[in-house]
């Protein structure tokens, strides 16, 4: 195809995406030419407010408690010691099995820079993932993703621990899978082998992987799916580059929702804090309505989008219930559900997972109040910066100057998701993004060196740009899509930017036998 036509489509596509995300546009202007590793090396630089240590100790105590429950005392101690020195986490992931390329890539970029720093304190890749997501989300949190090579093409395969449902059940509320789910996965694997969708080698590796990681008694005995996903990811992650002899930092998956609920219940239900006032003080309602109306992750009364601080998931419901403040109550639109804004009522509902903090409340707590640096995706850098700016304006109006001081240094423009570093290759075929399982199935002794070559060769702009078509589809309603712009593919963007000469695959796939 004519390069001039491709370039025109690419520039129009880029402009349309960035028009929706001005903060992302600013980041690309400033950081776009940087090599990926040089950009990622900035993750560990944290700008702490002088008065933060007292608040920081509350967050560290809560993280230690949850980490110890999930991964044991030794790991919990190392996580807290790391956070004392490097007060940052990733908040990019959806909680579920770590196989989708978006989250595999973001965590591998973090791991690359942590290993490059060679600081023994950097033992853990700490991720406060989002569990408040449908298990039918496109990132496939209900199971495993991997590629096979069939009829000369990459074919994405799925193995599900949770059954598909017509309604969007939420990962945060799902109980654990059981032995019956493992049996169904083995049946699916056997069917793929019979249909020649996978070869005997792939079948054997996947069979053993399921048994070793997902069919352990301690996993089947977990209290919920979040716990299962986090504990199995801890083991799965360590296998990604075994063929290269590389030991990755521990992957510590904790869900934001649980961390925030515990912090609120312990430190904000009765204490005189800004979070307490946001939750219960009627004088704050007009300010919240004024400053957070229309921001993604918050709410819009005008367009009936989002929710006021909490989503509700009443017993027996599979779908969210949107809530609005009405006097001293949170009520659904039809008022069939209501809950009093009283500390004990809110505490009980959060602990039973009937109330789920929305994005705004979660980041008010961990980022604006506790000052934690949160590495995020192409959406987060935009909405989190807008939220922070308006949080500061709200507190200026209220005369809460200490809250402004604590929030002002919160870092909201660190992007980690949407930057591609792990690629799947096949002789004579274009590169594709590798899933986590692909790295296990098709990795080799050169896999880690190839990944490091990519992070040292690609710029931030180059690693991000192939995702523009997908981001465009997310950013605009389908009825508004410019179909001509969408004619350009991620592969054409890679070729246009000369990326193929810089990419080396972390996994190589061949026709199966």
277-280 LR contacts (CB < 8 Å, sep 24+) = 278/309, 278/361, 278/364, 279/309, 279/341, 279/346, 280/341, 280/342, 280/343
Question: What pLDDT is recorded for position 4?
Answer: 87
Question: What pLDDT is recorded for position 429?
Answer: 86
Give the span between the Cα atoms of 480 and 469, in whole angstroms.
14
Could you list the beta-strand ranges (E) of 137-205. Answer: 143-150, 153-160
Tokens, residue 346: 């809110």
Give the span between the Cα atoms of 335 and 331, in whole angstroms.
5
Question: DSSP letters along 273-326, please?
Answer: -HHHHHHH-GGGHHHHHHHHBT-TTSEETTTTEE-SSEEE--TT--S-B-EEEE
Give the span between the Cα atoms of 369 and 402, in whole angstroms.
10
Question: What pLDDT is recorded for position 474?
Answer: 83
SS in 3 state form for 336-398? CCEEECCHHHHHHHHHCCCEEECHHHHHHHHHHHCCCEEEECCCHHHHHHHHHHHHHHHHHHH
Residues of the chain with pLDDT under 50: none
Angstrom CA distances, 221 to 177, 208, 211, 216, 237, stand at 9, 20, 15, 9, 21
Give the span between the Cα atoms of 179 and 161, in whole angstroms.
10
Residues 6 or more apart whose CB falls under 8 angstroms from that of 477 comprise: none
Give the span between the Cα atoms of 426 and 432, in whole angstroms.
9
Question: What pLDDT is recorded for position 89?
Answer: 97
Question: What pLDDT is recorded for position 53?
Answer: 77
Q: What is the pTM of this model?
A: 0.94
């Amino acid at each position: 195809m004519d390069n001039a036509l491709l370039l025109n489509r690419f520039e129009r596509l880029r402009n349309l995406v960035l028009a929706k995300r001005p903060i992302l546009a600013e980041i690309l202007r400033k950081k776009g030419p940087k090599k990926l590793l040089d950009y990622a090396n900035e993750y560990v630089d944290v700008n702490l407010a002088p008065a933060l240590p007292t608040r920081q100790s509350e967050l560290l105590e809560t993280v230690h408690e949850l980490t110890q429950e999930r991964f044991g005392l030794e790991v919990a101690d190392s996580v807290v010691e790391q956070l004392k020195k490097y007060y940052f986490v990733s908040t990019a992931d959806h909680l579920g099995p770590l196989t989708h390329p978006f989250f595999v890539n973001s965590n591998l970029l973090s791991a690359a820079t942590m290993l490059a720093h060679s600081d023994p304190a950097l033992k853990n890749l700490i991720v406060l993932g989002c569990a408040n997501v449908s298990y039918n989300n496109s990132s496939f949190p209900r199971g495993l993703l991997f590629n096979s090579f069939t009829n000369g093409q990459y074919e994405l395969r799925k193995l599900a621990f949770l059954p598909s449902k017509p309604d969007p059940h939420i990962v945060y509320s799902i109980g654990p899978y059981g032995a019956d789910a493992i049996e169904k996965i083995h049946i699916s694997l056997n069917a793929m082998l019979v249909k020649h969708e996978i070869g005997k080698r792939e079948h054997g590796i996947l069979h053993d992987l399921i048994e070793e990681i997902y069919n352990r008694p301690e996993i089947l005995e977990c209290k919920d799916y979040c716990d299962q996903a986090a504990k199995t990811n801890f083991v799965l992650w360590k296998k990604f580059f075994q063929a290269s002899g590389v030991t990755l930092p521990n992957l510590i998956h904790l869900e934001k929702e649980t961390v925030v609920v515990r912090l609120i219940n312990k430190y904000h239900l009765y204490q005189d804090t800004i979070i307490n006032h946001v939750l219960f003080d009627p004088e704050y309602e007009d300010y919240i309505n004024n400053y957070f109306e229309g921001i993604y992750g918050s709410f819009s009364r005008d367009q009936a989008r989002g929710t006021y601080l909490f989503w509700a998931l009443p017993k027996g419901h599979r779908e969210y219930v949107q809530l609005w403040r009405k006097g001293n109550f949170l009520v659904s639109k039809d008022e069939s559900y209501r809950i009093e804004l009283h500390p004990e009522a809110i505490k009980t509902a959060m602990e039973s997972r009937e109330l789920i903090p929305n994005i705004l409340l979660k980041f008010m707590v961990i980022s604006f109040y506790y000052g934690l640096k949160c590495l995020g995706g192409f959406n987060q850098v935009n909405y989190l910066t807008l939220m922070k700016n308006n949080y500061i304006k709200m507190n200026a109006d209220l005369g809460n100057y200490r809250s402004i001081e604590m929030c002002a240094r919160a870092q909201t423009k660190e992007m980690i998701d949407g930057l591609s570093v792990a690629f799947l290759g096949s002789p004579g075929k274009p590169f594709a993004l590798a899933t986590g399982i692909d790295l296990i199935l098709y990795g080799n002794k050169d896999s880690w060196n190839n990944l490091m070559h990519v992070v040292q060769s690609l710029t931030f702009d180059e690693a991000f740009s192939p995702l523009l078509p997908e981001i465009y589809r997310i950013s605009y309603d389908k009825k508004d899509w410019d179909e001509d712009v969408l004619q350009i593919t991620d592969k054409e963007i890679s070729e246009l930017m000369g990326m193929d000469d810089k990419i080396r695959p972390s996994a190589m796939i061949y026709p199966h036998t």
